[in-house]
């Protein structure tokens, strides 16, 4: 019976341990002595066995925690890599935007007052003979005129892309006493009929030039 207890004790002591080399005679003698002590006092063996089970459980829990932490670290590393890639793209976009801004600063300013293309509306204030104001037209896009076959000069004030803004200005002019003010449309620099550009949208407000 004692021999069986010794064998069991030795098995419990060495279970789970990795043996790197054969025990020496002295070590064998010491472990046999410990095995006999456990055989004489089973309660100590029980305590040792229970303590080992607790240690094994704690070790398994710690391994699980380490595995979870490693997974979290892996996720964070992936997120960091994504953020670094995003930062790199944003830096590239910023560099491109700065280059484009530098080009815009270096480019000559565009003529924002160029109304030679598209449809515009002017307010004609009258037609007069023996009044030549053409010298005021060149450097003032808001003041213009044109000669008729009868020798009259038709003068306009203001230039608008929006018909309703032109209509509002026309009303102001009439309130100021210019009773003959009306809207005249131009397309690509050429005077046209208002119905040709509005297509009936403001047909009720269409006026016939004198």
Query: In this structure, what CATH number is given to the domain that contains residue 157?
Result: 3.30.70.1070
Average pLDDT over residues 59-82: 91
3-class DSSP assignment, residue 121: strand
In a domain, 159, yes or no: yes
pLDDT value, residue 84: 92
- Tell me the β-bridge partners of 191: 186
CA-nearest of 141, 145, 148 to 132 is 145
Average pLDDT over residues 81-110: 81
CA end-to-end distance (rounded Å), the chain: 135
**Which letter does DSSP use for residue 116 in this model?**
S
Average pLDDT over residues 155-184: 88
Q: Which residue has the tokens 């341990």?
A: 17
Residue 19 has pLDDT above 50, yes or no: no
b/e string for 28-44 if b means 16 or more Cβ within 10 A? eeebeeebeebbeeeee
In a domain, 93, yes or no: no
| CA 67, 73, 79, 84 torsion-angle sign | negative
Q: In the chain, how many domains are there? A: 2
Q: Which of 10-19, 24-33, 48-57 has the lowest mean pLDDT?
A: 10-19
In a domain, 157, yes or no: yes
Q: Nearest 10 degrees: CA dihedral of 14, 19, 21, 23?
A: 0
Cβ atoms of residues 127 and 148 within 8 Å: yes
In a domain, 95, yes or no: no
In a domain, 165, yes or no: yes
* Average of per-residue pLDDT values in the chain: 76
In a domain, 196, yes or no: yes
Residue 3 has pLDDT above 60, yes or no: no
Over residues 100-151, the pLDDT tens digits come to: 887 777 755 544 556 778 888 988 887 777 766 666 666 666 777 776 777 6
pLDDT value, residue 119: 87
Residue 206 has pLDDT above 80, yes or no: no
Band of pLDDT at residue 87, cut at 50, 70 and 90: very high
> Cα(32)–Cα(13) distance, rounded to whole angstroms?
11
Helix axes 2-14, 42-106, angle to 10 degrees: 10
> In terms of residue numbers, what domain contains 15?
2-40
Cβ atoms of residues 123 and 180 within 8 Å: no
Q: Which residue has the tokens 């010298």?
A: 135
Residue 144 makes CB contacts below 8 A (sequence gap 6+) with 122, 137, 155, 156, 159
Find the helix or strand (DSSP H, E) in which 79 lies. Answer: helix 42-106
Cβ atoms of residues 185 and 194 within 8 Å: yes
In a domain, 81, yes or no: no
Residue 74 has pLDDT above 80, yes or no: yes
In a domain, 25, yes or no: yes
């Amino acid at each position: 019976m004692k021999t069986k207890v010794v064998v069991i004790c030795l098995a419990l002591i060495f279970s789970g341990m990795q043996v790197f080399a054969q025990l020496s005679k002295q070590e064998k003698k010491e472990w046999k002595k410990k095995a006999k002590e456990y055989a004489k006092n089973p309660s100590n063996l029980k305590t040792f066995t229970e303590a080992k089970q607790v240690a094994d459980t704690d070790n398994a829990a710690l391994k699980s925690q380490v595995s979870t932490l490693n997974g979290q670290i892996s996720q964070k590393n992936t997120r960091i890599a994504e953020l670094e890639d995003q930062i790199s793209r944003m830096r590239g976009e910023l560099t491109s935007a700065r280059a484009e801004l530098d080009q815009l600063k270096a480019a000559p300013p565009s003529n924002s007052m160029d109304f030679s293309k598209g449809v515009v509306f002017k307010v004609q204030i009258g037609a007069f003979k023996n009044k030549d104001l053409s010298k005021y037209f060149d450097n003032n896009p808001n003041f213009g005129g044109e000669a008729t076959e009868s020798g009259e000069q038709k003068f306009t004030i203001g230039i608008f892309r929006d018909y309703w803004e032109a209509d509002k200005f026309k009303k102001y002019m009439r309130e100021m006493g210019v009773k003959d003010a009306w809207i005249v449309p131009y397309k690509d620099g050429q005077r046209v009929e208002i119905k040709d550009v509005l297509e009936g949208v403001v047909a009720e407000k269409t006026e016939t030039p004198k």
